Structures are given as C-alpha cells and as structure tokens.
Amino acid sequence: MSTHCPVCNKPVKAKYAPFCSQRCKDVDLGRWLKGVYVVPGMDSEEAGSLPPEEPGGGQKHRP
C-alpha cells in the first residue's frame, strides 16, 4: 500500500487510508462522481451488440 495520499501526496493517516484526511477522501469521491475518473469498459452501443448472458452468470452447471 502506498504511504502517500493519492490526492495531495501527504503521508497517509490510518483513520482515512488510503488518504490523509476527510477532505482528500471527499475530493476523490467528487472526482468519481463528476466523471473525472472512469473505469475502462465498453460503450453502451458496443455492449448492446453482445449476446445475452446465460442465467447463472454464464456458468454452466454440470450434474
């Protein structure tokens, strides 16, 4: 685990890990909510062209 806050680079405090303060936790959350950070994936148009998933998450059960 990193010992520095990903927002301001100050030392991490255990109470707010992996951040140094409540402020930096809130800044990070705000960035996620505003779309500054994104998780790579497919566009909704691309996802619509995939075949539907099988019941049970696509895993086939063997007797």
Number of domains in the chain: 1
- Residue 23 binned pLDDT confidence (cut-offs 50, 70, 90): very high
Mean pLDDT of the chain: 84
Question: In angstroms, rounded to a whole number, what is the distance separating the alpha carbons of residues 63 and 31?
Answer: 47
Report pTM. 0.60
In a domain, 53, yes or no: no
Q: What is the DSSP letter of 35?
A: T
Full domain range(s) for residue 6: 1-37
| pLDDT at site 9 | 98
For residue 60, being part of any structural domain is answered with no
Going by C-alpha positions, the residue among 11, 6, 1 that lies closest to residue 25 is 6
Instruction: Report pLDDT digits (tens) over 34-61.
Output: 999 988 887 777 666 766 676 666 555 5
CA distance 57 to 24: 37
CA 2 to centroid of chain Cα atoms: 17
28 assigned to some structural domain: yes
Here the CATH number for the domain that contains residue 5 is 3.30.50.10
Q: What count of Cα atoms within 13 Å lies in the side-chain half-sphere of residue 10?
A: 12
